Amino acid sequence: MSDGPYLFDVGVTALAHTDAPVRDAALSYLRRAVSGEIYAVVPYASVVGAHNALTSYYGFSNERASQLTQTFMDAKRIHWYEGMPEDVVRDGFSLAGEANFGGWDGYYAQVAIEEGVETILTIDDDFEKVDGIEANVILSSDEFAALNEYLGY
């Protein structure tokens, strides 16, 4: 594992805050980012998405999810990407259209490009379709199956 830079996708941000049996891969990256061992770029949109995932998929209360995500936001060694400029969103939609994946993934990929991040930490393989971006899928296929089982899929 290099020292980055890495962009945290919503799935990694959410998984790190759960008690899922496969969370260790996500949690290890999150801990290293919080401590400054790796250079991490985290869009605030990823944290909002993580809150949604925690309440919608992982069964957390809004209060608990809010507490966890706000505590994460206190990390001072993370580069927080605050913006959602129109050109980044438009370019993200262009990426999404070309790669045939969702608008959020297009946005995250475009943020990575804008911020000079070559590696996106993710739990899915959508980002492998974007030139110049490496998708570091942090879960093996067996771990992903275990996560789906944990989530009741």
In whole angstroms, give the CA distance from residue 124 to residue 31.
Answer: 21
What structural domains does the chain harbor?
A: 6-150 (3.40.50.1010)
Residue bearing tokens 């994946």: 101
Q: What pLDDT digit, counting tens, does each position of 93-131 carry?
A: 999 999 999 999 999 999 999 999 999 999 988 888 898
| CA distances in angstroms from 112 to 22, 129, 151, listed in the order given | 25, 14, 29
Q: What pLDDT digit, counting tens, does each position of 60-85 carry?
A: 999 999 999 999 999 999 999 998 99
What long-range pairs does 129-136 form, CB within 8 A, spacing at least 24? 129/98, 129/99, 129/100, 129/101, 130/95, 130/99, 133/109, 136/6
Token pair recorded at residue 8: 């945290």
Q: Residue 42's pLDDT is what?
A: 97
The yes-or-no verdict on residue 134 having pLDDT over 80 is yes
The yes-or-no verdict on residue 90 having pLDDT over 80 is yes
User: What string of DSSP letters covers 21-90?
Assistant: TTTHHHHHHHHHHHHTSS-EEEEHHHHHHHHHHHHHTS---HHHHHHHHHHHHT-SSSEEE----HHHHH
| CA distances in angstroms from 141 to 3, 14, 74, 85, 89, listed in the order given | 25, 18, 32, 35, 31
- 3-state class (DSSP) for residue 138: coil
In whole angstroms, give the CA distance from residue 38 to residue 96.
Answer: 28
Q: Residue 126's pLDDT is what?
A: 86
Residue bearing tokens 């001072």: 76
